[in-house]
Amino acid sequence: MEISTPKKPPPIYIHNILNINSMINELKTLDCGGFRHITVENNKVKLNMDLIDGYRKVIDYLKTHQAEFHTYQIKSDKAFRVVIRGLHHSCNIEFMMSKLKELGYEPIQMLPVRHPITKLPLPLFFLDLKHNPKNPEIYSLSRLYNGIIKAEPPKPRKTIVQCMRCQQFGHTRNFCNQTARCVKCEGLHPTEKCNKPKDTPPICTNCKGNHPANYRGCPEHIRLQRGATRHQTIPYRSQPAPGTSSLDKTSASPPELKKVPAQDAPFSDIHRESSNRPLYSSIAASSVNKQGVPQGSILAPFLYLIYTHDIPTPKSDSLTVAQFADDIAVLSKGDTGEEVTTNLQNFLQEIEKWNKKWRTAMNTNKS
Ligand SMILES: [Zn+2]
Ligand SMILES: [Zn+2]
Ligand SMILES: [Zn+2]
């Protein structure tokens, strides 16, 4: 028999608290159970509720009062996500889900996965299951109807998350009730309502630099990514063994900044899409590096230069390549738009070959 320990609700970060006493009094009127609070920044309070029920009451209350806050998803609300390999992309998803139901699982959805660069469909699906003690058994499932499959836990998220509503890091839009900020102009409006003229440079709301707030090279992003990596440990990054009971590896919403599994910046962008690559976070906790360079070490920049010394260089005058750390910009010129695109495309194919050879990948978010 499974004995499940009650899960603690995630913290709630409430902003603009001008009077802590009135906050406490309001909470007491809600009959929401015990709670603890700590002031983390000047007017920002981190609130931990003892009970999930109390947590939900407080969230409802804050929403109806349009309070500025952010939080994270309750662990038990997250689906149990599994990666299914080996099924053809054209397979009948509904039918496969019905077969899973017959086996005793409770599938919520099955999502086909595409290659991040080529966008071609892959023999790969994300399967979300409702919580059920049976779920870990799926890792030993090798057949689904007539198909030979392999079920694996998803890989941990490598980069720090950013909220598409308020542009801050460490939480996601679905759990944010803060004032919307534009990704392009730092204005207090949702990005889709932005009317910044095209020729006006963007302003980042996080660092005030002239780039959109979701630019990975933003100094604020790099700083937080480094911080997240410093708190990272090898066991957290490694894949859980199939059949283990560590259920929630799907974390789209990290519980705390320090627990975000993340790659080191700034030398990792080009390798960021590569997988299963442990870090040498300390001498005591070293492990095998199958591709890329070990990050977070003093040698990383030097190793990175060696690793990328044979990166393709353009053979024609119409292309210029500019490199800074692991960022590569390619400038193409020509008499027609078509010529510009063709030159660029040919060179990207060279880069893609190089990526394949050295088992790295371009970061498509920045391309
Ligand atoms: Zn937010
Ligand atoms: Zn705007
Ligand atoms: Zn910035």
Whether this prediction's pTM lies above 0.75 is answered by no
Contacts of 67 (CB under 8 A, 6+ apart): 14, 15, 16, 177
Span from the CA of 167 to the centroid of ligand 1 (angstroms): 6
Span from the CA of 192 to the centroid of ligand 2 (angstroms): 8
Span from the CA of 87 to the centroid of ligand 2 (angstroms): 43
Query: Which residue type is seen at 321?
Result: V
Span from the CA of 256 to the centroid of ligand 1 (angstroms): 14
Q: Which ligand is nearest to the CA of 203?
A: 3
Q: Which residue matches tokens 């109807």?
A: 145
Q: Which ligand is nearest to the CA of 183?
A: 2
Predicted local distance difference test score (pLDDT) of residue 11: 96
Span from the CA of 328 to the centroid of ligand 2 (angstroms): 27
Peptide bond into 266 cis (omega under 30): yes
Span from the CA of 211 to the centroid of ligand 2 (angstroms): 12
Q: Which ligand is nearest to the CA of 177?
A: 1
Span from the CA of 213 to the centroid of ligand 1 (angstroms): 12
Q: Which ligand is nearest to the CA of 204?
A: 3
Predicted local distance difference test score (pLDDT) of residue 187: 92
Q: Which ligand is nearest to the CA of 185?
A: 2
Span from the CA of 207 to the centroid of ligand 3 (angstroms): 4
Span from the CA of 110 to the centroid of ligand 1 (angstroms): 28
3-state secondary structure the chain: CCCCCCCCCCCEEECCCCCHHHHHHHHHHCCCCCEEEEEEECCEEEEEECCHHHHHHHHHHHHHCCCCEECCCCHHHCCEEEEEECCCCCCCHHHHHHHHHHCCCCEEEEEEEECCCCCCEEEEEEEEECCCCCHHHHHHCCEECCEECEEECCCCCCCCCECCCCCCECCCHHHECCCCCCCCCCCCCCHHHCCCCCCCCCCCCCCCCCCCCCCCCCHHHHHHHHHHHHCCCHHHHCCCCCCCCCCCCCCCCCCCHHHCCCCCCCCCHHHCCCCCCCCCCCCCCCCCCCCCCCCCCCCHHHHHHHHCCCCCCCCCCCEEEEEECCEEEEEECCCCHHHHHHHHHHHHHHHHHHHHHCCCCCCCCCC
Span from the CA of 344 to the centroid of ligand 2 (angstroms): 30
Q: Which ligand is nearest to the CA of 168?
A: 1
Joined together, the tokens standing for residue 124 give 């790969």
pLDDT in tens, the chain (367 residues): 444 556 789 999 999 999 999 999 999 999 899 999 999 988 999 999 999 999 999 999 999 999 999 999 998 888 999 999 999 999 999 999 999 999 999 999 999 999 988 999 999 999 999 988 999 999 999 999 889 999 999 988 778 999 999 999 999 999 999 999 999 998 999 999 999 998 999 999 999 999 999 998 999 999 998 877 665 433 322 233 333 333 333 333 433 333 333 333 333 333 333 333 333 333 333 344 556 666 655 566 666 667 777 778 777 777 777 776 667 777 778 887 777 777 777 777 787 887 777 777 776 555 5
Predicted local distance difference test score (pLDDT) of residue 270: 32
Q: Which ligand is nearest to the CA of 210?
A: 3
Q: Which ligand is nearest to the CA of 71?
A: 1
Question: CA distances (Å), 274 to each of 11, 293, 346, in order?
Answer: 32, 11, 23
Strand order in the sheet with 150-152: 107-114, 121-129, 80-85, 150-152
Span from the CA of 170 to the centroid of ligand 3 (angstroms): 15
Contacts of 270 (CB under 8 A, 6+ apart): 308, 326, 328, 360, 361, 362, 363
Q: Which ligand is nearest to the CA of 173?
A: 1
Span from the CA of 183 to the centroid of ligand 3 (angstroms): 10
Joined together, the tokens standing for residue 36 give 């603890």
Span from the CA of 71 to the centroid of ligand 1 (angstroms): 9
Span from the CA of 169 to the centroid of ligand 3 (angstroms): 11
Span from the CA of 218 to the centroid of ligand 3 (angstroms): 4
Predicted local distance difference test score (pLDDT) of residue 324: 65
Joined together, the tokens standing for residue 320 give 């210029």
Q: Which ligand is nearest to the CA of 213?
A: 3
Span from the CA of 264 to the centroid of ligand 2 (angstroms): 30
Contacts of 274 (CB under 8 A, 6+ apart): 291, 292, 359, 360, 361
Span from the CA of 296 to the centroid of ligand 3 (angstroms): 22
- Taking alpha carbons only, the member of 84, 222, 65, 79 closest to residue 145 is 84
